[in-house]
Amino acid sequence: MIKVLHLSDIHMGSGYVHGRLNPETGLNTRFEDFVQTLSFCIDRAINEPVDLVLFGGDAFPDAVPAPYLQQAFAKQFCRLSAAGIPTVLLVGNHDQHSQGAGGASLSIYRSLGVPNVIVGDTLATYRIETTSGPLQVITLPWLNRSTLMSKTETDGLSMLEVSEVLLDRLRLALEGEIRQLDPTIPHILLGHLMADAATFGAEKFLAVGKGFTVPLNILTRDCFNYVALGHVHKHQILCENPLTIYPGSIERVDFSEEKEPKGFVIVEFTPEPGENQFKTSYEFCAVPARSFCTIETNLCDSTMPQDDLLMAIHRSEIQDAVVRLIYHLRPEQVELIQDLGVREALSAAHSYTIQADLVTKVARSRLPELGVGATITPIEALQAYLTNREDLRDLELPILEAARALMGDEQGVMFGSSGRPTFGIEVPVPETENREAIADSIEEPSVQLRLL
């Protein structure tokens, strides 16, 4: 039996906004979280022990990580090297450098000749001798258009045509690798890609450039005993035969991953008689990743918003979590919330953000007349506004009256011969021409809207 640990998408150095400075180390606590979780994975690989570790790509946020990130990453993977456990480090989109001659942040391990480490930065097949027997791994790093096509070849082609040509080339190149495989030992395809059957996760927000999607049937060939994938942060099993898995990321980068379990997979290959030669089984192993917790509560109808807000916090599991508190309340309730008390209730969290959302009574949805391309007259708009403002009910009639006067319906009240200002406001009487100009401008639809 051969045992393989497959992890992916470490992204060490991401999500600092959810951490705080550790005064003892001077480092962001989220960096320390990522190191701790990676260390947990490496501990498991060594203690098990597994025969091989596969890393599915995306080590850092970009291809030029700060030295302390490189160092922390190297420290963990060198433990595998020292323990004699072979490791394949696949290059993901975040590991590739797009400038000059390119290269990848992980290539340093090959340059230094770190024992037992293979860097997968090209499509290639490796035969790996493990203590439990040999394995074959095809590495398929993140592909961009320039990997498989030159610029002159893509000239004049649409994006769709380019993608089709790329996929044809990938199919061919993969076929070339498959034909060299030794059928008597287990075959693994290790790829960093977006499979077309995958559910998206936070990776779509992290990626700068767009890659292309690979149809699952290109990957799930009968000859493979396991298809180990990286790139998508949400753990998922895409196919049972051959077993095709995204282990997902090991730590949460943002709140979009709040509900996702985080971990790695351990895959076992057991020899069995017959055509398929090996039986593949797997286990998802959860890691103690930092939990994220959203508390959202609507206090608009609450008579004791502070108490209800504190209750909502106490009901949530905020201990050591990254928390975001979102509460909705009416403007007149604002003074009923004591910020200090709320912050004290949140103090058990690892870090927190508070977002107070003021709900105003006049909602646009209550003015259906104001659809796209539709306008209403200023008087109708004012009427609708006043209908929604209970506090102005007593003034509704005088306001409307004054508005009509302004609009010229009742000329004479405001600007007329009497010269008597309404509501005791001193209104300068303009020249007749100016008055017409004002009336004209009010007829403009844009002005009508601005009046709202």
Q: Give the residues lining the site for Mn ion (CB under 5 A).
A: 58, 92-93, 231
Q: What token pair was written down for 392? A: 């102005």
Q: How far is the C-alpha of 240 from the C-alpha of 435, rounded, in Å?
A: 78
User: In the complex with Mn ion, which residue's Cβ is closer, 14 or 302?
Assistant: 14
**Identity of residue 348:** A
Residue 144 Cα to chain centre, angstroms: 21
Q: Whole-number minimum distance, CB 170 to Mn ion, in Å?
A: 17
Q: Whole-number minimum distance, CB 160 to Mn ion, in Å?
A: 23
CB under 8 Å to 17, separation ≥6 — which residues?
A: none
User: In the complex with Mn ion, which residue's Cβ is closer, 207 or 285?
Assistant: 207
Q: Whole-number minimum distance, CB 200 to Mn ion, in Å?
A: 12
Pairing of strands 117-120, 351-358: unpaired
What residue number has its CB nearest to Mn ion?
231
User: In the complex with Mn ion, which residue's Cβ is closer, 246 or 278?
Assistant: 246
User: In the complex with Mn ion, which residue's Cβ is closer, 8 or 225?
Assistant: 8
CB under 8 Å to 12, separation ≥6 — which residues?
A: 31, 34, 35, 38, 59, 60, 65, 69, 72, 73
In DSSP notation, 30-83 reads HHHHHHHHHHHHHHHHHHTT-SEEEE-S--SSSSS--HHHHHHHHHHHHHHHHT
Q: What token pair was written down for 407? A: 């609009």
Q: Whole-number minimum distance, CB 198 to Mn ion, in Å?
A: 12
User: In the complex with Mn ion, which residue's Cβ is closer, 92 or 248?
Assistant: 92
Q: Whole-number minimum distance, CB 155 to Mn ion, in Å?
A: 28
Q: Whole-number minimum distance, CB 64 to Mn ion, in Å?
A: 16
Q: How far is the C-alpha of 37 from the C-alpha of 287, rounded, in Å?
A: 7
CA distances from 71 to 66, 93, 219, 288 (A): 9, 20, 34, 22
Closest of 237, 292, 231 to residue 260, by C-alpha: 292
Q: Whole-number minimum distance, CB 62 to Mn ion, in Å?
A: 11
